[in-house]
Amino acid sequence: MKHIHIIGIGTGNPEHVTIQAINAMNAADVIFLPLKGAAKEELAEVRREICERYVTRPVRISEFAVPQRQTAPKSYAQSVDSWHGEIAHIYAELIAGLPENGNGAFLVWGDPSLYDSTIRIIERVRQQADLDIDYSVVPGITSIQALAASHKIPINLVGKPIEITTGRRLARKGLQAPATVVMLDGEQAFAKIDDPGAEIFWGAYLGTEDEIVRSGRLGDVAADILTLRSEARQRHGWIMDIYLLRKGRDFEE
């Protein structure tokens, strides 16, 4: 049986990589490294640096191109499902190339459990491909943890719930929870929230040398964040950012 290690590697700082992750990388025969085009070459370089730093035995690095998600004329869910199907086909070919009883590894940005679909796609491969495989998951430092560390804050207010959502849903539903972590916000939904009591804690390229963070009352800093985000995206060709919207104070009923 072939085995796949799904390894969380943190948000871009090689020092986020855990000892468990290093051991899993060194247990692999092949590490599969995704390429997402020239604009996101930095993401591939971080993975290469992690391999160079921590892999201490002969392990083959196999780079592969990730197809772009096609949106029209499908719904969001339909387009993601179709995209996952394309990636599952690529994964199946990569895994089929492993030696008998061999080990492969996928390095996942952040943590495999949070807004990443590697686990889903590997399960799809298991169900649809004629391959005898199993897999294990190694947790990684999430962008939520990195955001809180950079701002030196707890995410939650005492005794209050946390919502983790996307920019798309925030734009549609509005701000509802006392603490709302927003990921995958390509439309900058925070700028559309009109709530005088809301604070924002924003960060981009967390854990890397290019890290940018801003915080304050949402109405005071939203325009500044929009400018910073636009300039950073133009400079790098891509952006990964996340933010926390928070209302209220500790111990308030």
pLDDT at 16: 95
Residue indicated by tokens 């928070």? 246
Q: Is the pLDDT of residue 43 over 90?
A: no
Superfamily (CATH H level) for 143-247: Tetrapyrrole methylase, C-terminal domain (3.30.950.10)
Residue 83 one-letter amino acid:
W
Say if residues 202 and 213 touch (Cβ distance below 8 Å): yes
Second CATH level (architecture) for the domain 2-138: 3-Layer(aba) Sandwich (3.40)
Question: pLDDT category, 74, cuts 50, 70, 90?
Answer: confident
**pLDDT (average), residues 28-53:** 92
Burial bucket for residue 194 (CB in 10 Å: 0-12, 13-18, 19+): exposed
Q: Is the pLDDT of residue 39 over 80?
A: no
- Cα-only R_g, the chain: 20
Each domain of the chain, given as residue ranges in start order, spans: 2-138, 143-247
Model confidence pLDDT, tens digit, residues 57-67: 999 999 999 99
Say if residues 59 and 31 touch (Cβ distance below 8 Å): yes
pLDDT at 211: 96
**CB atoms near residue 252 (< 10 Å):** 11
Q: Is the pLDDT of residue 129 over 80?
A: yes
Q: Is the pLDDT of residue 161 over 90?
A: yes
**Which is higher by pLDDT, 115 or 38?**
115
